[in-house]
Structure 1
Amino acid sequence: MHDKILLSHGEGGKRTRDLVVKVIARYFDNPVLAPFLDAGLLGRIEGEIAFTTDGYVVTPPFFPGGDIGRLAVCGTVNDLAVCGAKATAISCGLILEEGLPLSSLERALSAMRDAAEEAGVTIACGDTKVVERGKGDGIFITTAGVGVSVDGWRPAPSAVRPGDRILLTGTMGDHQVAVLIARRNLAIEAPVTSDVSPLGGLLLPLLPRFADKIRFMRDPTRGGVGVTLNEMASSANARFVLDEARLPVRESVRGVCEILGFDPLYLANEGKAVLIVDGNAAEEIVAALRRHPYGREAAVIGEVEAGSPGVRMRTLAGGVRAVDYPVGDQLPRIC
């Protein structure tokens, strides 16, 4: 094998075969993928099926706390988890740029393998394409994921009502600030690492116990908690009111935001979830979340109130302000 990706690795000949068999399959070895068929045969799946797709173009592809490989797996299984589905299988489409060091590809593949093992999901099929030098940016990954609903639970935006509580499973903005630090080579005294994590083990065990109490879940990736809550408020035709004093932000992230003028409410996360839950069950659900390593900083951050739909926030100064969609992007290509 060469130590860099060549155009001929994508042309379908011997080098393509060597790349797939000697490199990629070494990391994704499993009975579904091993026959190298044109599709992964998953067998019979019982239950309500959820299906998602995503693409990953983060730059740089390796950052504190994660990389594009772990991100691709976690992002896909998390989209299924917040819809109440346990991930069964995902696909992996690799778009590689000519000249990419083979060591970088293997680093991303290793991270995908490890994240898939943690999430309990099979990488069941894939594809590889190579583009000319300068026509890509090292490595892009596309995925699709299939999952099965836990106990038939479905998001129910129409069930949201005044008195419900808004929960967040942890601190805001860790992922986007970690990518920013890596991209701009910032010298930050307090370390910041991405929160990229698979959330199935945190969220899905809640459903058999609190199924009728959990109305709606989303993962606040691009646009952060602020954009996600606006989308949820629109879907639920409800008024959400946040409490600024309760919003969890690490001091290191807050410091970067103050220096660069960012609002952590709009920064991307890759290991957090927003839940709208029955107000009477909120504290019990928070306690359950905090027993999991990925939910130790879970908190109630607001409530649903009567009134016109949208998102508002009670500020530290004692006023109330609108939380709207931001104009522009604080940092593109963060996932």
Structure 2
Amino acid sequence: MTVVQLTPASSAPRRQLGRIHVPNVTMAHGGGGKAMRDLIDDVFVAAFDNPALSTMEDQARFRLAELTAHGDRLAMTTDSYVIHPIRFPGGDIGKLAVCGTINDLAVGGARPLYLSCAVIIEEGLDVDTLREIAGSMARTAAAAGVSIVTGDTKVVDRGACDKLFINTTGIGVIREGIELGVGRVRPDDVIMVNGLLGDHGAAILNARGDMALSTPLESDCAALHGLIGTLLAAAPGTRFLRDATRGGIATVLNEIAEASQVGILIHEERTPLRDEVRGFCEILGLDPLYLANEGKIVCAVPPDQAEAALAAMRNHPLGRDSAIIGHATDGRPGRVVMHTVFGGRRIVDMLVGEQLPRIC
């Protein structure tokens, strides 16, 4: 992965970073004084170190030529992360924040370049945990070739948030010729996913410990822009991409059907699921189509490019289990239908609220 070299629009002499000498975050660390500066320096500036951040202005500054060198349109997204627990098998809230925002840019065809990081910290959170999360964000961003260039820190009273909330905003650039959108899907377009579904949602539910299950489940949290670049090179006519996070692939498919006014037909036996996730859902009465993913995309590709797209994704580490799960149709516009393993059909609707375990 190519790392973007920042050229800040202004520079300042390198300064000595402050250090924090207490084990837990206090309200003083959100008060705007030396304690706050020491926390920011010790935890965040030290972890995210780059020329745009080190100036410590109220905004990151970079030259417009640096952006236009990558494309002709700017892409911007923002998201907030409030996950419980903040550490889970396969990742943590920091990795999730970086990957989630990168993916929201990448599914629009953008090359992710810069991220912001705003944190809301609960009073009493231990500083080592905060350092661990910041380090996770830094490693994930560096591996993706993305820089975290600005941010904000707030501390709230005990009980006002659950340990740590993170907001990340991302900026990327879309090169000329890439046109992706939820309203662009046409009948006969092929619907595919890049691997096993529902891992993240199942891993988080299991990590909360309410069911005390011993099944080993791990989140699929990953930055997908490399995979998406590979896909677009192999299938430049790709019409639509979306990461299937909250609401799972069922929600994404319904969004396609409604916006493009096509029907979507998928096949249960072609939908890739881990046996552990399938069993987990059976125990809890959940439908895996609605489980969250953090490393999976839904793609709509013209039929003449589908095989090339599938082969390209399967050759990428994050797409080895890619599968064609269905296609768009000109019948029943706005409706998603699944062919079941029993030979019947069922409507896959959009959830009104949260899934609930079956109680009867």
Do both share a fold (TM > 0.5)? yes
Of 169, 172, 176 in structure 2, the residue corresponding to residue 147 of structure 1 is 172
- More deviation, 200-209/10-19: 200-209
- More deviation, 182-191/297-306: 182-191
Once the two structures are superposed, the pairs formed by residues 231-270 of structure 1 within 5 Å of their partners are 231-270=255-294
The question of 1:87 aligning with 2:112 is answered yes
Distance in 2 separating the partners of 1:157 and 1:328: 22
Identity of aligned residues (%): 47
Q: Give the TM-score of the pair, scaled to structure 1.
A: 0.96
Q: Is the 8 A contact 2:108 2:181 kept in 1?
A: no
Q: What residue in structure 2 maps to residue 275 of structure 1? A: 299
- More deviation, 267-276/162-171: 162-171
Distance in 1 separating the partners of 2:62 and 2:273: 41
Q: Give the TM-score of the pair, scaled to structure 2.
A: 0.89
Once the two structures are superposed, the pairs formed by residues 111-190 of structure 1 within 5 Å of their partners are 111-184=136-209, 186-190=211-215
Distance in 1 separating the partners of 2:78 and 2:322: 27
- CA offsets per residue over residues 98-127 of structure 1, 9 Å max, x none? 000111111111110111012111101000
Distance in 2 separating the partners of 1:143 and 1:157: 23
Q: Is the 8 A contact 2:181 2:241 kept in 1?
A: no
Distance in 2 separating the partners of 1:163 and 1:265: 22
Q: What residue in structure 2 maps to residue 328 of structure 1? A: 353
RCO higher in structure (CA 8 A, sep ≥6): 1
Distance in 2 separating the partners of 1:109 and 1:22: 10
Q: Is the 8 A contact 1:150 1:204 kept in 2?
A: no
Report the alpha carbon displacement of residue 185 of structure 1 after superposing the two structures with TM.
Answer: 5.4
Q: Is the 8 A contact 1:96 1:140 kept in 2?
A: yes
Report the alpha carbon displacement of residue 328 of structure 1 after superposing the two structures with TM.
Answer: 2.4
- CA offsets per residue over residues 118-139 of structure 1, 9 Å max, x none? 2111101000000001111100
- More deviation, 74-83/180-189: 180-189
- CA offsets per residue over residues 30-49 of structure 1, 9 Å max, x none? 11101111101122210211
Report the alpha carbon displacement of residue 149 of structure 1 after superposing the two structures with TM.
Answer: 0.7
- More deviation, 214-223/230-239: 230-239
Report the alpha carbon displacement of residue 152 of structure 1 after superposing the two structures with TM.
Answer: 3.6
Helix, strand or coil at the partner of 2:115: strand
- For structure 2, the 5+ residue unaligned runs are 1-20
The question of 1:14 aligning with 2:34 is answered yes
Distance in 2 separating the partners of 1:64 and 1:210: 33
- For structure 1, the 5+ residue unaligned runs are none
Helix, strand or coil at the partner of 1:179: helix
- More deviation, 150-159/240-249: 150-159
Helix, strand or coil at the partner of 2:252: helix
Q: What residue in structure 1 maps to residue 13 of structure 2? A: none
Report the alpha carbon displacement of residue 217 of structure 1 after superposing the two structures with TM.
Answer: 0.6
- CA offsets per residue over residues 3-55 of structure 1, 9 Å max, x none? 11100000011100100112211110011101111101122210211010100
Helix, strand or coil at the partner of 2:53: coil
Helix, strand or coil at the partner of 2:255: helix
Q: Is the 8 A contact 1:5 1:102 kept in 2?
A: yes
Distance in 2 separating the partners of 1:164 and 1:253: 28
Q: Is the 8 A contact 2:194 2:320 kept in 1?
A: yes
Distance in 1 separating the partners of 2:317 and 2:347: 33
Distance in 2 separating the partners of 1:211 and 1:151: 12
Which residue identity lines up with residue 19 of structure 1 in the other structure? L
Aligned-pair Cα RMSD in Å: 1.3
Distance in 1 separating the partners of 2:186 and 2:161: 47
Give the greater-gyration-radius structure (CA): 2
Q: Is the 8 A contact 1:85 1:204 kept in 2?
A: no
The question of 1:43 aligning with 2:63 is answered yes
Of 3, 16, 25 in structure 2, the residue corresponding to residue 5 of structure 1 is 25
Q: Is the 8 A contact 1:313 1:323 kept in 2?
A: yes
Q: What residue in structure 2 maps to residue 291 of structure 1? A: 315
Which residue identity lines up with residue 235 of structure 1 in the other structure? A
Q: What residue in structure 2 maps to residue 96 of structure 1? A: 121
Distance in 2 separating the partners of 1:224 and 1:320: 20
Helix, strand or coil at the partner of 2:294: coil
Which residue identity lines up with residue 226 of structure 1 in the other structure? A
Aligned length: 330
